[in-house]
Amino acid sequence: MSVHTVELSSPSRRKIEPGAWVAYSGAAAFAISAVWYSLATRDVTQAAPPQLGPKVGAERGLHLYYRWFATTLPQERLYTVIAIAGFGCLAAVAVAASAQFGRDRALARASAFSIAAGAAIWIVANLVLLGGHRAIGLMATHANPVQAVNSIAFTVDTIVSALSLATFALIGAGLLGFGYAARTLRGYRAWAGASAAAGLLMLAVAWSYASGPGDLTDWLLLISGVAALPAWLILSTRAQTVNSISREKASSGLSS
Centre a 10 Å sphere on the Cβ of residue 30 and count the other Cβ atoms it contains: 26
Whose CA is closest to 97, among 229, 198, 237, 199? 237
What sign results for the dihedral spanned by CA atoms 217, 86, 68, 42?
positive
0.75 surpassed by pTM:
yes
Q: Is residue 246 assigned to a domain?
A: no
Contact between 96 and 19 under an 8 Å Cβ cutoff? The reply is yes
Q: What sections of the chain are H helices per DSSP?
A: 18-41, 58-71, 73-97, 105-140, 146-181, 189-210, 214-223, 229-255
Distance separating alpha carbons of residues 168 and 201, to the nearest angstrom? 9
Give the number of domains in the chain: 1
Q: Is residue 252 assigned to a domain?
A: no
Whose CA is closest to 14, among 240, 255, 251, 233? 240
Phi then psi dihedrals of residue 187, to 5 deg? 85, 0
Q: Is residue 89 assigned to a domain?
A: yes
Which residue range is the domain that position 108 belongs to?
19-235
Q: Is residue 146 assigned to a domain?
A: yes
pLDDT tens across the length of the chain (256 residues): 444 443 434 444 455 566 789 999 999 999 999 999 999 999 999 999 988 878 788 888 899 999 999 999 999 999 999 999 999 999 999 998 888 775 568 898 999 999 999 999 999 999 999 999 999 999 998 888 999 999 999 999 999 999 999 999 999 999 999 999 888 777 778 889 999 999 999 999 999 999 877 789 999 999 999 999 999 999 988 876 555 544 444 444 545 5
Residue partners of 241: CB distance under 8 A and separation at least 6: 11, 14, 17, 20
Radius of gyration of the chain (CA): 23
Q: Is residue 1 assigned to a domain?
A: no
Q: Is residue 2 assigned to a domain?
A: no
